[in-house]
A and B are shown apart, each in its own frame.
Chain A
């Protein structure tokens, strides 16, 4: 894992001291709320419905067991004993008192963590494939570049007051698990003619009230030019992005209004100016950072396949868990494990302090102390021996973390919604819980197969509903919670934005409506191998709409 160098440590410690003083001055009355608010936001401190909320960055979703234990300690000491993993590889604490936040930041700095740039109109936490460095289909580790981007974008003076927030995601595998086309900039690492590393770059993606998929601005940017090219994009955005209307301020609107060709032309002109200058990435530096992400000391040894098969035969729940929650690894004998934070009836993404400690212990025992956070609000042990799976499962089960539902209908993404969030119009979590309970039967879930439900409690779309196979958007209709359903969204390499299927549903009706959609899919699929998304793309929305509203609705 990456370790802070003296510059990282210094700037994080400086920021802790700075913000501690700002909090002191705020409480002493030397700063007004108006003056203080942008400062607290720069440090990840929001004011939500019930309390302050602290959003902590987990850079490219990578956590050590030591860091996880620190998060557990903070949850226990300063919060209500749990934390919430978000769709942006962040962790949120929902109940810190403002007076405690300097101490929390100090504790975080001790384990090389912070909350800088988790809010505000700046470059946010760069996210990456949660299976980085592990998955069998990877051609280069995205964390190396995410770390380089982190260093470049942290406290970047030119980009601290952008027209609006800016999000970057990186993938280095053929399967896009980082939803790169739903980001302001999406980077896909590629290999060139001589196997040299480069980047295919998408720009202008994003969800929110105007969902757009990123458009390709360049099919290959050489490795050493990465930062120069990113800087060129940011400069064009900073110059032309709208500041008169916050709803039109994201780069997606600029790209949409001006057209990708025009933006490309300007970016290329800017790039030509700065290429090879101060932002040139020297090979030694790239290699130095890459060394932090070197593979752990894998053991070579025989796989005891019989032992695993036997354990699976003995315990059907374990067999389902292995089937759903493990992932092909590049190292023979190893696998990656998803730790589902979606127990039946639970709050998606929530982990209790004791569970965080358990995950840290399990990571130390079996996974080189390494943990990942996925944008799907689950945790991952990236490198574990297949031989250890029965023991890992047993340890996870003890911590109530062994739900074998990764990618199934109960693996629901949900934003905090109106239970916590000051922006929300409707609750998300209770809908997720009721859906999870409705589909609790694991055999039924397996029969349904891969399908994603994503729920947002407002148009800002933190729950990624636009890219859910089934998306649910909560709205306020005359004081009542109401839920609009979209179908056919997808976040990956075959990304698409879901389409609204028809009029919305009340909180009472929405779970039945989703079940009707799922049953319709089961009825119409060609065979169990045809996934929900594939079937939807083949069938279109008509049969689903008919099932929800009756055939008569089509004439209307």
Chain B
């Protein structure tokens, strides 16, 4: 297992089981839109989010949930790391540019 992420603001992400699409834990259920994601702060909320992820795995909604760091940009949030930025916005180039 990856080491536990410690960050000020986090979001739980995963890939949807049926089509592999990137999804995030929202305020109410799962969303493909990061803007609708539930912002997780502190260890307790992180554990709650991870528990929701484990349940969704058991319910066959998604696979491989994990927390990512997000930072506030303008009015919303965006992933802190490039890998997650690309997962969120799609390939940066080519025929499927921005197809996420």
Contact = CB atoms under 8 A, between A and B. Distances in A.
A binds B: yes
B55 to A, nearest CB: 13
A419 B18 contact: no
A98 B18 contact: yes
B41 interface: no
B64 interface: yes
B18 to A, nearest CB: 5
Contact of A419 (B15, B63, B86): B86
B99 interface: yes
Contacts of B95: 80-82, 347, 350, 352
B63 A50 contact: no
A100 to B, nearest CB: 8
Interface stretch (A383-391, A425-433, A529-537): A425-433
A97 B19 contact: yes
Contacts of A82: 95-96
B91 A50 contact: yes
B48 interface: no
A50 B22 contact: yes
A99 interface: yes
A460 to B, nearest CB: 15
Interface in A107-165: none
Contact of B17 (A95, A98, A429, A430): A98
Interface in A32-53: 33, 47-52
Contacts of A47: 15, 20, 63-64
Contacts of A99: 18-19
Contacts of B91: 50, 419-420, 429
A484 B18 CA distance: 38
A445 to B, nearest CB: 22
A97 B82 contact: no
Interface in A19-76: 26-27, 29, 33, 47-52
Contacts of A33: 17, 57, 63-64
A26 B19 CA distance: 13
B44 to A, nearest CB: 27
A418 interface: yes
Contact of B92 (A80, A98, A419): A419
B94 A350 contact: yes
Interface in B56-100: 57, 60, 63-64, 80-83, 86-87, 90-96, 99-100
Contacts of A427: 86, 92-93
A433 B94 CA distance: 9
Contacts of B82: 418, 479, 481
B81 A479 contact: yes
A419 B89 CA distance: 10
B67 to A, nearest CB: 16
A347 B94 contact: yes
Contacts of A481: 82
A94 interface: yes
B66 to A, nearest CB: 12
B99 A95 contact: yes
Contacts of B93: 347, 419, 427, 429-430, 433
Contact of B94 (A26, A29, A429): A429
A476 to B, nearest CB: 8
A337 to B, nearest CB: 24
Interface string A72-89: 000000001110000000
Contacts of B17: 26-27, 33, 98
Contacts of B80: 479
A29 B57 CA distance: 10
Given A27-B18, A50-B90, A429-B94, A418 B83 contact: yes
A418 B86 contact: yes
A27 B99 contact: no
A94 B87 contact: no
A417 B17 CA distance: 23
Nearest to A95: B96
Contacts of A419: 86, 91-94
Interface string A328-361: 0000000000000000000100101000000000
A522 to B, nearest CB: 29
Contacts of B87: 49-50
B61 to A, nearest CB: 11
Nearest to A425: B83
A49 B63 contact: no
Contacts of B100: 50
A183 to B, nearest CB: 28
Contact of B20 (A27, A81, A97, A418): A97
A47 B19 CA distance: 10
Contacts of A26: 17, 60
Interface string A2-31: 000000000000000000000000110100
A91 B78 CA distance: 33
A352 B99 CA distance: 16
Contacts of B96: 80, 82, 94-95
A67 to B, nearest CB: 21
A81 B96 CA distance: 9
Contacts of B19: 51-52, 97-99
- 7 tightest A-B CB contacts, nearest first: A97-B19, A51-B20, A419-B91, A52-B20, A347-B94, A82-B95, A49-B87
14 contacts: A26-B60, A27-B18, A29-B60, A33-B63, A33-B64, A47-B15, A49-B22, A50-B90, A50-B99, A97-B19, A419-B91, A420-B91, A429-B94, A479-B82
Given A95-B99, A429-B93, 11 more contacts: A33-B57, A47-B20, A47-B63, A51-B19, A51-B20, A80-B95, A82-B96, A418-B83, A419-B94, A429-B94, A433-B93
Interface of A: 26-27, 29, 33, 47-52, 80-82, 94-95, 97-99, 347, 350, 352, 418-420, 427, 429-430, 433, 479, 481
